[in-house]
């Protein structure tokens, strides 16, 4: 495992909106992906889900595998797939999802971490997380922050115990002040999204504002380069774009196919 080193300063604007620079920066944003109708439907589905559970709203894991087909359908929304294809190409699968809903006043923080090294059943350098803003997300209500270029080399960084109160995880990647100095707050309006590499360092502060901060994260991997141990993986793997693999346990969720 590799230790984190300070990234070189980025030559791009504070928020990278160019998919062509994704490989270098480790993230990019796409604004106004969902319109008012889609956002209203998403908020209605979220209200249904939250009314049926007693867990903290930051811990709504794998909603796409639940009873409401809305969350699985959203994972193949044409505009979301179009944004993902710009960084992964034409063939990719849906791996996991997570609703992270920080309530007003006591929303949990998310310590610095990488995504891919924490998932024991999937490996690869072409795995990304789509972070879809359901609410406006800014520095005031605990938006996500990334440290550009820390995905370089796709190394798993050492993790240590996280004993911070009111935190989503009990682990964190230990980073130096020099590394943290390069962080970029990913401020998004509702309906916009960011895509980040599975190895980039990211996290967020708690939400002590009077506003909720809700986001839906969808994890995708390039079909040809993502290794998946389906016996260990806790949810089905869905092909959402491109060709169905000749071998392996996959479900067909490509546009136009019925949800099974």
The CATH number given to whatever domain includes residue 115 is 2.60.120.620
Q: For residue 185, with 0-12 CB atoms within 10 Å meaning exposed, 13-18 middle and 19 or more buried, which class applies?
A: middle
Instruction: Flag whether 8 is in a domain.
Output: no
C-alpha to C-alpha distance for 207 and 220, rounded to whole angstroms: 27
Structure tokens at 107: 């929303």
- Supply the pLDDT for residue 230: 85
- Supply the pLDDT for residue 162: 83
Q: What helix, strand, coil percent values describe the chain, rounded to 5?
A: 20, 30, 50
Instruction: Flag whether 260 is in a domain.
Output: no
C-alpha to C-alpha distance for 244 and 90, rounded to whole angstroms: 12
Instruction: Flag whether 141 is in a domain.
Output: yes
C-alpha to C-alpha distance for 143 and 186, rounded to whole angstroms: 6
Share the mean pLDDT of the chain: 93
- Supply the pLDDT for residue 25: 98
Instruction: Flag whether 19 is in a domain.
Output: no
Instruction: Flag whether 239 is in a domain.
Output: yes
Evaluate whether 191 touches 80 at the Cβ level (below 8 Å): no
Structure tokens at 51: 């009314």
Q: Domain residues for 58?
A: 25-252
Higher pLDDT, 206 or 246: 206
C-alpha to C-alpha distance for 83 and 5, rounded to whole angstroms: 29
C-alpha to C-alpha distance for 187 and 194, rounded to whole angstroms: 9
How many domains are there within the chain? Answer: 1
Strands 213-222 and 27-30, how do they pair? unpaired
Query: What digits encode the pLDDT tens for the residues 119-149?
Result: 999 999 999 999 999 999 999 999 999 999 9
Query: Binning pLDDT at 50, 70 and 90, where does residue 231 land?
Result: confident
The full DSSP string for 28-85 is EEE---S-HHHHHHHHHHHHHHHHT--S-GGGEE-GGGSS-THHHHHTT-HHHHHHHH
C-alpha to C-alpha distance for 253 and 240, rounded to whole angstroms: 5
Evaluate whether 128 touches 185 at the Cβ level (below 8 Å): no
C-alpha to C-alpha distance for 254 and 59, rounded to whole angstroms: 27
pLDDT at residue 191 above 50?
A: yes
C-alpha to C-alpha distance for 17 and 167, rounded to whole angstroms: 29
Query: What digits encode the pLDDT tens for the residues 5-37?
Result: 665 544 444 899 999 999 999 999 999 999 999
Instruction: Flag whether 190 is in a domain.
Output: yes
Instruction: Flag whether 178 is in a domain.
Output: yes
Containing 7, the helix (H) or strand (E) segment is none
pTM of full prediction above 0.85:
yes
pLDDT at residue 1 above 60?
A: no
Instruction: Flag whether 7 is in a domain.
Output: no
């Amino acid at each position: 495992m590799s230790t984190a080193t300070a990234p070189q300063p980025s030559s791009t604007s504070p928020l990278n909106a160019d998919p062509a620079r994704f490989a270098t920066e480790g993230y990019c944003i796409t604004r106004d992906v969902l319109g008012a109708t889609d956002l209203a439907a998403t908020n209605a589905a979220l209200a249904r889900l939250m009314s049926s559970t007693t867990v903290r709203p930051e811990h709504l894991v794998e909603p796409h595998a639940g009873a409401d087909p809305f969350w699985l359908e959203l994972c193949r929304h044409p505009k979301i797939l179009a944004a993902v294809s710009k960084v992964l190409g034409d063939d990719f699968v849906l791996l996991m999802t997570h609703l992270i809903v920080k309530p007003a006043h006591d929303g949990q923080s998310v310590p610095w971490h990488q995504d891919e090294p924490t998932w024991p059943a999937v490996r690869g350098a072409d795995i990304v997380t789509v972070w879809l803003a359901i609410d406006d997300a800014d520095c005031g209500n605990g938006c996500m922050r990334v440290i550009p270029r820390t995905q370089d080399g796709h190394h798993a960084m050492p993790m240590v115990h996280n004993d911070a109160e009111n935190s989503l995880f009990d682990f964190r990647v230990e980073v130096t002040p020099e590394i943290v100095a390069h962080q970029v707050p990913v401020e998004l309006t509702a309906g916009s999204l960011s895509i980040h590499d599975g190895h980039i360092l990211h996290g967020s502060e708690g939400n002590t504002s009077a506003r909720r901060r809700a986001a839906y994260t969808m994890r995708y991997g390039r079909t040809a380069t993502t290794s998946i141990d389906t016996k260990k993986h806790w949810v089905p793997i869905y092909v959402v774009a491109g060709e169905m693999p000749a071998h392996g346990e996959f479900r067909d969720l490509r546009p136009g196919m019925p949800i099974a």
